[in-house]
Structures are given as C-alpha cells and as structure tokens.
Amino acid sequence: MDELNVIIAGVGGQGILFMSRVLGHVAVKKGLNFIQTEVHGLSQRYGSIHTEIRIGRDVQSPLILEGTLDLLMALEPLEALRKATYVNQRTIVVMDIHEIPPVTAYIEKARIPDVDEIISDLKALGAKKVFTVRATDIAVELGDPVLANSVILGAASTTGVLPFSKDEIRSSLSDLSPARYREQNLRAFDAGLKEVEER
Amino acid sequence: MPESELLAPPGSKVLLLGNEAIARGAIEAGLDVASAYPGTPSTEIGEALSSVAEELGIYFDWAINEKVAAEIAIAASWSGLRSLTMMKHVGMNVAADAIFTLTYAGVVGGMVIVAADDPQAHSSQNEQDSRHFSIAAKIPTLEPSNSQEAKDFTKVAYDISEKYKLPVMIRTTTRISHQRGIVEVGDVRERRKKGVFKLDEPDRYLQVGNIAVKHHKELVEKLKKVEAEVSDRGDFNRVIGDGSDYGIIASGVSYSYAAEALKRFNLNIKMLKIGMPYPFPIRMVSDFLKSCKKVVVVEESDPIIESHVKMIAKDSNPDVEIYGRETGHLPWAGEYRPGIVIEAISRSFGIKLDLPAVNPAAAEISKKAPARSPTLCPGCPHRSTGYATRRAVKANSIVLGDIGCYALLFQKPFSLAKVSHAMGSSFGFANGFSIATDQPVIALIGDSTFFHAGIPALVEAAHHNRKAVFMILDNRITAMTGHQPHPGVSYTATGRPAREIDLEKLVRSLGIENVEVIDPFDHKRMEKAVRDSLNRDGVSVIIARRECALLTVRKLRQKGRIIPYIVDPERCTYCRVCINTFACPAFIDTGEKVKIDPAVCFGCGACVTVCPYNAIVPQEGSLNWLKEGVGV
C-alpha cells in the first residue's frame, strides 16, 4: 500500500480545516493523490474534531484504518490523547502544549491528564517520536490564538514525515492565507519551525 | 472556498469537497435555478453556489424550508430550465409531499435532487436512508463513491432526467459529502437562462383520480426504460475484476473501503459496484450472483441493496450465500469504517485478514481524555438565554428544544431542552403538552427553525390561546450550519438586498399580546420575562435577540484585537458558580481559583453578572457587549 496517513486533531474553531487545505494544496501542486475527510456542522462548535488526510497512489477510502497513522498533528494535547487508538509504532506526534479542558470536565470533576502524562502515554503506545511546541502561547504573543494552526504546520514540516518540503508547505500557506492574515500566518509558521522540541 | 477552484477551466485537477463537486457538476450541466434549505451534510453545495451564482447568472438562494426549495426547483424545471434542490436526509421528509407527486407529473428541464444522508448522525437526529424515498417515490437514484463521481454523476444526471422526464436523485452519505478529493473538471454547458411554462398536455400537471393513475402507469413504463437503458447497462453499475467465486456488492463510500481492503490484503475477489441503486439493475445483479458462491453486500445505511440481492438470488442462484446486515456480518446502526468492512470480508469468506497492530492499551488511554461534546461558543447568546431560563423554570416545567445550536442546552449545567425531535417540533409539542398536562410549558426555537416549521404551530397556539411560553432565539442567522441568511435578515445568499421579515410584527399580527424582545445578555430582564410568562395564562412570546457571537467576533476582529476579561484573584473565592451555572468554555479551573483563558475568551462580558463576588473584570480596552450594544 502506497499510503501516508495524517490526522489533525483539535477543538472546533481552531482552524483545522485550513491546515488540511494547505496540505491538500501542496499535494495537488505535486500531482499526488490526496483525500481528506472533514467535519462540518454541529461538531464544529467547540467539540472534539479532527480531519483525516490520506496521501498516496493506493488511497481510496476517506477514513484511516486504525494502526496505520503516520502523523498526528494536535492543536490541543487532550485531543492528541483522544486519538490514542490510532497511534502505533510508525506514528509521529506533533502537538501544542496548551490544554483547553472542556468546561464540562470541570462540572463533572473529571480528571484532566497533564501534558507530561499525555506525552508518556503516547510514547508508551509506541509513538515513534513526540514533538511539542508552544503553539497557542506563540499565537497569543503574535496577537491572535487562531494562529496556532500555522505554528503547528511549521513544527510538523520539520519532522520529515510529509512528502513535502518546508518551503512547499510555507508557500501554499502563503497562497491560501487571506491577505489580512498572510504575514501573521507566515510568522507563526516560522516560529513553529524554530521552537519545535523533541520530547 | 476560493471561487477559482470551483470555476477551474475544463481539464484542470482541483481539490473539491464532495458537495463542491456536486455544485460543479450542476454548473457544468448548465444549471439555471437552485434552491435549498441548509442542513448538514448537504450545506456546502449551496455555499459553493452562493460564491459563484452572481458571476455565472445562476439563481441561487436559501429557501424557507426544503419543501418550498423543491417547489422552486420543480417550477423551474417545468419552465424548461435545469434545476437543483439539495437537502439533508431529514429534509427529504419535509420536501416529500412535493416530490412524491413530481414523479407522476415528470420534469421538462433536467432536475436533480440531492439527498445527503448522515450515518452516525454526526449532525442529525437520526440515520435515515434516503434510498427508501427513491423506491417509495420512484425516483431514479445515483450513488457516487468519491468527489470525482459526485461531479460526474451530477452532470450526467441532468441528461438522464431530461431524457426520461424524471427527476434524478443523487444520494450521498457524510463521508462522500465531506470528503475532499481531486476532481478533474469538465466543460461548462451554456445555460438556458429564462424558461417558458407551456401546457402541451392539458392534464400533465394535474394529479387527481384517474389522471393520477394514468400518470402512475406512465411512470412505471419510464422506470422500466431507465432500468434497461441506464441501470443495467453499466454506466453506473459495473463489475470490477473476475477471479474467484467470491463477490462483494458495494455502493457509495462503502465501495472505497472494500476496494482499498482488496488492495491492502492483495485479495482476488470481484466486485459489483452499484452506482445506481434505483431502478435496481436486476439483470446485472442476476448475472453476478450466478458466478458467485458467496457474496457480501456492503452499503450504508439500510440493507436496501442487500434485500434486492436476496430477492434476485431466489430466481437466479438460490444456492449463493449472501452476507450483510441481516446475517450479522455488518452493524445495523452507526457508520462504517474501513476496519468494519475488512472484518465483514474476512468473516463472510472465511479468510483470515490481520488488521495492523494496535496496542491493546490504546482504547483505555484514549478514554482518559475527558469527553468534549460540542458546546455553545464563548459569547453565545443561547448560553445567556439558557442561564436565565434555568433560573426561572419550575421543577415540573416542560422545556422543549428544537434543531439548532441551542439544542446543546440539554447539557449541564443548563439541563434544559431535554426534548429535541424534528424541525419546529418544540412549538408543535407545546400545543400538545398544554392540552395534555397542567405543567408549565416553555418551548425554544431558533429564528431560522421558526421560519422553517415553527410558524404553523405558533398560529395554532394563538388560535387556541394555549397556556405556553414560546421563545424565539433570534440570533439573526442560520448559525449551526455555518451562517446562512433566512427570511428574518435583509440580504440573500448572494448578498442581494431582501425584505427583512420582522419577527415581532409577525407574532403580533396573530393577535398575541404578550410579546417581549430582549437581549439575552440582560440576564435579569430575561429571567423576569420567563418567570412572568410562566405565571401567565395564554400564549406568551419572548424573542431573545442577539447576533450569533461568531458573527460579532468576526466583525470585531476585523477592527482590532479582542481584549479578554480576567478574573481578579483577590475577589475570586473559588465558589465555582461561574463554571457550575454559566459554563463558558473560556473558564479554567486551576483547582484553587477560576481563570479565563485569553485564547478562548471573546471578551463579551456576559459572565460579569454571573459572579456573586464581582470577580470577573474587564481589562483596558475590553468591551461590554450588553452595555455598549455590540451584536444587537
């Protein structure tokens, strides 16, 4: 099977669809087969959401088979943890360290695992590598928390999992950014490139 | 979406959502008129058309409901134009009255109906399968398996529709509607632009008694032709591979799961791909079954192909073993995933297929992540309506919800709206409960849902002066599906000016006297209004009016930075009243204090009055949406 499987996970409203579109844009430019599954509608309202991306000649299904995930990009650590059933020995994880616990968890007094626990759980499941980046914090410093998606894209582009170069991703990010956000998105991307940390 | 992708020149390859591909297919077919009511997972077809309709000269607008949308498309077709209407599966229930009789009358200009099913009920109240409508209303139906087919099938559906003078349904499921894939686009046919309605046959559009029976006979003849000339001919239904005497019959997205499974495990099993499930390809299936010993049928959502296959097998090959839902090889409820289909293939044919290794601890580890259901956004007016209503309702009150973001008020801490059923049902049920019980009744409905299906129930209540509180949660848009205009706003889907229907005047025109329009952020006033209304005899209407926070925040962001609120740690006593009664997603519980996450807070100030200790305070530059009239 010629396949590369990517999940981008996060909380509704964090701009996950935009990240997927950037990767799709690079894939089309490079003539690679690309299928992506998106979530629209009610689930976008601060719920747990993710997109599944599949790149490669033999790919037909829009959904990923458990155990075949190559890259997990998470804009929120608890959402990375939620995708544990996909994590296997070929999985590389790139995640933000800023937790956004669901407010219902406070009401229910549910236990909220911290970032260190999440990292060790993902490693225990055999994740090949776990990278972290202060994506939301950097985004807030740059003036807008929604820029965290570009920070994660920058961080993920250093891992070498994607069949695209950093410059290819950066240039598609630039092409797809609305003019008003372009400069900020690219700054966020570059910050992600620099500040990514292997754990 | 960027318009350039939707209007890419013929021959180019672009990434399109299944829904966008359907829009492109219709555009290529020379679409003239399209009308729809938004509903997940169908909405992006209309969103795509909105973005290009003016440029192309196509008529597109969101209609008040699916039935009116279908009627607009039907009239356009009868005038000789090519038309489109699209809806989510439950929208078919609303449009069905018009559609059932349409097949008797037939069409003139090609007409396509898109029914987008939602297995797993990701954004829906049920998992119904629209192909039951194909059979019941006798509508030729196509089922694409990816974005390319979604585009191609839609385009050719117009030719089939015109040739046989029948509407054609495109049936999708969520993973087709919402998969983005590479589509090679084709040439765009010239539009007809303006139609003429002609009565070539005096009784063509008249359905009653013997005339209806005559047209029904014609319809059956037309369908036989479609079966022989299209369905059984291999344009949409085809056999892939030869090999063993094991066979898979699959349609829609399930086909892609099965096809990939064969590749992954290098299996030599032939497949019959069903792209046109109605009229059913009897000859083709019959031939396929004759060549098989074992067959597994893979389809979402109900065993429609499976039952047909069984009926055909009785004549063509009674010995063939047929597996599917009815034999327990596939689940009845919920959507399929690749693993489910692999397992069904493995069990049906007795072939051992090793799924990729997953750590057995993974499921438990995944469950450590606390549940994160969809939640009302920060700044959402519905949270404030829910907060105030919760304080006002009595223990025995019947609080009815409806279809929209406010359905989320069923969650803690609001625990309202524990009844959520179908579009407009809250207002309909309120009539019934006020007859059947002596309990206080309060019904919530969104503005768009009120226009769609709430008006008749409110007229009913006004007519009988029912003792019930009717709350219209007017957030000035159809919010849940992504902000489509409705008759209560002053613009159309393509940005043209339109008459804004004044909700208050509409309600008052029914003779209802107790009508209040309130900004839900004014918690005190809202609470009092709900309490007073509950104590009153007869109909009360409360219009809770405040724009969807996502729209407000979008406008504010264009002007500058959002300045979040903060919690003054000196004043915060960690009583957790804010979390336990208001539950904004921006609240952080540190275990000692409550904080506000600046990455989540919209800076609306709605929570300020919730804190008994006045600990929630603005920063320099924070707005107070209530006091400053932002978003109303």
Chain A CA closest to residue B482: A41
pLDDT at position B529? 98
Pairwise CB contact (< 8 Å): A65 & B338: yes
pLDDT at position B242? 86
Peptide linkage before B301 cis (omega within 30 of 0)? yes
Structure tokens at B319: 């010995």
Chain A CA closest to residue B12: A28
Chain A, 2-41: which have a CB under 8 Å from a chain B CB? 11-13, 20-21, 24-25, 27-28, 33-41
Q: Which residues pair with B141 in a beta bridge?
A: B169, B278
Q: Kindly calculate the radius of gyration of chain B based on its CA atoms and give it in whole angstroms.
A: 27
Longest CA–CA span in chain A (Å) reads 49
CB within 8 Å of A160: residues ≥ 6 apart: none
Residue A171 vs residue B417, higher pLDDT: A171
Which one of A25, A110, A176 has the shortest CB-CB distance to B370? A110
The arithmetic mean of pLDDT across residues A89-108, rounded, is: 95
Peptide linkage before B585 cis (omega within 30 of 0)? no
Pairwise CB contact (< 8 Å): A100 & B17: no
Question: Is the per-residue pLDDT at A193 higher than 90?
Answer: yes
Side-chain-facing half-sphere of B235: CA atoms under 13 Å = 15
pLDDT at position A40? 78
- The separation between the first and the last C-alpha atoms of chain B, rounded to the nearest angstrom, is 28
pLDDT at position B510? 98
The DSSP 8-state label assigned to residue B509 in this structure reads T
Q: Predicted confidence band at B444 (pLDDT cuts at 50, 70, 90)?
A: very high
Residues B39-51 have pLDDT tens digits of 999 999 999 999 9
Which one of B260, B359, B481 has the shortest CB-CB distance to A61? B260
Chain B CA closest to residue A22: B15
pLDDT at position B530? 98
pLDDT at position A44? 65
Query: Is the minimum CB–CB distance between A158 and chain B shorter than 8 Å?
Result: no
pLDDT at position A39? 83
Residues A12-69 have pLDDT tens digits of 889 999 999 999 999 999 999 999 998 876 666 788 999 999 999 999 999 999 999 9
CB A125 within 8 A of CB A87: yes
Query: Is the minimum CB–CB distance between B597 and chain A shorter than 8 Å?
Result: yes
pLDDT at position B561? 87
| Cα separation, B79 vs B199, whole angstroms | 10
Residues B75-111 have pLDDT tens digits of 999 999 999 999 999 999 999 999 999 999 999 999 9
Pairwise CB contact (< 8 Å): A104 & B375: yes
- Judged by DSSP in three states, B592 sits in coil
Residues B182-203 have pLDDT tens digits of 999 999 999 998 999 999 899 9
Residues B511-529 have pLDDT tens digits of 999 999 999 999 999 999 9
Chain A residues whose beta carbon lies within 8 Å of the beta carbon of residue B599: 98, 100, 136, 139-140, 145, 148
The DSSP 8-state label assigned to residue B257 in this structure reads H
Q: Predicted confidence band at B599 (pLDDT cuts at 50, 70, 90)?
A: confident
The DSSP line for B55-111 is: HHT-EEEE-SSHHHHHHHHHHHHHTT--EEEEEEHHHHHHHHHHHHHHHHH--SS-E
The arithmetic mean of pLDDT across residues B286-315, rounded, is: 97
Q: Which residues pair with B539 in a beta bridge?
A: B468
The arithmetic mean of pLDDT across residues B485-511, rounded, is: 98
Residue-wise over B323-344: b if at least 16 C-beta within 10 A, else e?
Answer: bbbebebbeeeebbbbbbbbbb
Which of A26, A40, A87, A152 should be substituted to probe chain B, the one whose Cβ sees the most B Cβ atoms within 10 Å? A40
The arithmetic mean of pLDDT across residues B456-468, rounded, is: 98
pLDDT at position B244? 86
Which one of B122, B356, B558 has the shortest CB-CB distance to A88? B356
Q: Kindly report the average pLDDT of chain B as a whole number.
A: 96
Q: Predicted confidence band at B4 (pLDDT cuts at 50, 70, 90)?
A: confident
Pairwise CB contact (< 8 Å): B368 & A60: no
For chain A, list the domains and their CATH numbers: 4-198 (3.40.920.10)
Angle between helices B43-56 and B18-28 (to 10 degrees): 40
Q: Kindly report the average pLDDT of chain A as a whole number.
A: 95
Pairwise CB contact (< 8 Å): A35 & B356: no
pLDDT at position B193? 84
Query: Is the minimum CB–CB distance between A171 and chain B shorter than 8 Å?
Result: no
pLDDT at position B239? 96
Which one of A12, A33, A107 has the shortest CB-CB distance to B413? A107
Chain B, 487-546: which have a CB under 8 Å from a chain A CB? none
pLDDT at position A43? 61
Residues B233-247 have pLDDT tens digits of 888 999 999 878 999
For chain B, list the domains and their CATH numbers: 3-229 (3.40.50.970), 236-349 (3.40.50.920), 381-552 (3.40.50.970), 561-617 (3.30.70.20)
Question: Is the per-residue pLDDT at A133 higher than 90?
Answer: yes
In total, the C-beta contacts within 8 angstroms joining chain A to chain B are 227
The DSSP line for B409-462 is: GGSTTT----B--STTHHHHHHHHHHHH--S-EEEEEEHHHIIIIIHHHHHHHH
Pairwise CB contact (< 8 Å): B405 & A62: no
Strands A129-133 and A197-198: antiparallel
| Cα separation, B317 vs B308, whole angstroms | 13
pLDDT at position B235? 83
